[in-house]
Amino acid sequence: MSAFLAAGPNLGRGGIGAWLAGLSPAGKAGVLAIEVVVMLVVWQLVVGVFGWINPVFLPPPTAIAQGFVELVSGGMLWPNMLISAQAWLIGFAIAAVIAIPVGLLMGSSLPMDRVVGPIAWTIYATPTIAYQPLAKAWFGFGIGPVIFLVAVSALFPILLNVAAGMRTTNASIIRAGKVYGASRTQLYRSVYLPSTVPFLFAGLRQAVVLATIGMVVAELAGSASGMGALIIKAANTYQTDQAFAAIAIVVAWSVGMTQVVTLVERWVAPWTRKGRR
């Protein structure tokens, strides 16, 4: 979670910026925890205690917690969560398996880049929801259209980042590779691929967020199950507390998977970790 508090350009020098930048990871997590608690308390006061906003539109945190308990005890949460997670993971895996090799090809071959590039950018630029009716026509009403939308959403950020990483490999390092006798294959394995790794993970992080959007969009628009379906069912029956609880779970999933990607990156690519002198 401490990634949220990464130091930006500390233009002011000193003051609270310097204090934040100097915090230990535990300290940063502490600051974040305080921020969350303060936000929840203000929210609770505004809606729950003072009643400035109708809780049907914006339920207070305690009501959302209650909604969460209702979802669990009513047996609605686990089955829907499992279906969503399944669709998400399958769709994400399909995206990664296609996007990584195609991205590498695009990055290393100009003709490939010229042919695939415009297609990739066009599909990437299309709002995911536009594919939803088609997805239903192609894959029916089950988990199929959800997997499809997750895969389409996750595919292009991975593909385009990998291609960019390959293309922007430092020319000086390529020269060094040649000088020290790297063959073509060695050059790809020892220079191009490792220098693409940070781009791959940047793409994966973007893909996590977009895949989750794709999943919810697919489930909102006419799925019988899944977190999106749960949200729309609860909202349609004015059980906004349950709807918010379901949304919170989706957000937690998205943030959690982003953290998983970051952890895998630290393990696979330890050189990208910020070094302390």
Partner 1 sequence: MTTTSIERNEAGAPLISVRDLSVSYDVARTGKRLTAIEGVDLDVHEGEFITVLGPSGCGKTTFMNVVAGLVKPTTGTVLVGGSPVTGPGPDRAVVFQDYALLPWRTVFDNVKFGLEMQKELKGAGWRERVQDAIELVGLAGFEQSYPRELSGGMQQRVGLARAVVAEPRILLMDEPLGAVDALTREVMRDEIEKLMAATGKTVLFITHSIEEAILLGDRIVVFKSHPGAIKEIIETGLERPRSERSIQHDPRFLELRDHLWDALQGEATAAAVSK
Binding-site ranges for partner 1 (CB under 8 A): 170, 172-173, 175-183, 186, 190-191, 194-195, 197, 269-271, 275-277
* Nearest distance from C-beta of residue 176 to partner 1, angstroms: 4
* Nearest distance from C-beta of residue 179 to partner 1, angstroms: 5
13: left (phi over 0), alpha (psi -120 to 50) or beta: left
Between residues 114 and 189, which has the closer beta carbon with respect to partner 1?
189
Between residues 24 and 185, which has the closer beta carbon with respect to partner 1?
185
Between residues 93 and 193, which has the closer beta carbon with respect to partner 1?
193
* Nearest distance from C-beta of residue 188 to partner 1, angstroms: 13
- Give Cα separations from 49 to 61, 155, 170, 203 (angstroms): 11, 45, 58, 43
* Nearest distance from C-beta of residue 58 to partner 1, angstroms: 46
* Nearest distance from C-beta of residue 275 to partner 1, angstroms: 4
CA dihedral sign, ordered 71, 74, 77, 78:
positive
Q: How far is the C-alpha of 214 from the C-alpha of 132, rounded, in Å? A: 9
Q: How far is the C-alpha of 137 from the C-alpha of 151, rounded, in Å? A: 17
Between residues 52 and 271, which has the closer beta carbon with respect to partner 1?
271
Between residues 190 and 262, which has the closer beta carbon with respect to partner 1?
190
